[in-house]
Amino acid sequence: MDRRTAIITGASSGLGHECARALLHRDASWHVVLAVRDRERGQAAAERLGQPERCSVLSADLASLSSVRRFIADYRDQDLPPARALICNAAVQVISGTRRTEDGHELTFGVNHLGHFALVQGLLEQLARPARIIVVSSGTHDPAKRTGMPVPRYASADRLALAEGESEEPIAKLGRRRYTTSKLCNVLFAYELERRLGEGRAGVTVNVFDPGLMPGSGLGRDYSRAQRFVWRFVLPLLRVLPRVHSPRASGRHLAALADDGRYEGVSGRYFEGLRAVRSSLDSYDRDKAADLWQTSEQLLASG
């Protein structure tokens, strides 16, 4: 049996944890690296998966570029099966005020986009071909979907990183807009990466995954007490509706994109669950993608 490794960010809970569970159950050849901010929580998560011998827990705080670099070095030193999947899943939504990463970047942009950009750049040469990279985005990146979230506003990546030139609006709404804009950045980044890797011809495919609305996930951690109650206990009742899913159901879909033979060689696509659809109009804007890539490279060089 050819053993292989999948690296999953944000794997101590929610979607990332359920994706790890699904991969371990899909095929005995998978070893999973839980890339987590809190190592103790990661170890507990590995135990909950029931197969700790097939899990490795490594620290990766996406709000710190130095932490991402340490993760890359630590991963290189592990005696693990070849890496065949990299799943960029971790995300934050901050609605209580402007917070910044260790490197001084606005936190939502820093974690949801820049930390993953740094991780992918550092791991690309360590991926064994063929390999799959999956970037988790959200339907909230698309204004046409009318999700109830503020629509993204992308003027430049530099402004997003500095949190400058933003409109005057309530801080909670601004925080949600930063989140939807970061999810647009996820799609722009994935498409640009796919182009730079030769649209799958270099042996690495890149796709985007939209898990749908997942009430009860960790994205509500910055909500008020009343909002957290609704998020955790009331909104999950809506899972009977289309596009509202449990983390476990979406985790199975995400694992399938990383493992299933149906998606071998498929690249540059946006998946709602397991269905390939068009993403937002702005997500295909190559000028925005180039600006995001160039600015991200500059931020890594200075960080």
What are the residue numbers of the active site?
A: 179
What is residue 103's three-state secondary structure? coil
Q: Under a CB-based contact definition with an 8 Å cutoff, are residues 183 and 244 in contact?
A: no
Measured in degrees and rounded to the nearest 5, phi and psi for residue 238 equal -85, 5
Could you give the angle at the alpha carbon of 169 between the alpha carbons of 215 and 294, nearest 5°? 80
Length of the chain: 303
Token couple for 27: 């095929």
Token couple for 140: 């909230």
The amino acid sitting at 294 is Q
DSSP states along 122-134: HHGGGEEEEEEEE
Helix or strand (DSSP H, E) at 208: strand 204-210
Of 62, 33, 87, whose CA–CA distance to 209 is shortest? 87
Q: Under a CB-based contact definition with an 8 Å cutoff, are residues 86 and 131 in contact?
A: yes
Could you give the angle at the alpha carbon of 185 between the alpha carbons of 181 and 188, nearest 5°? 135
Going by their DSSP bridges, the two strands 275-277 and 270-272 should be labelled as antiparallel
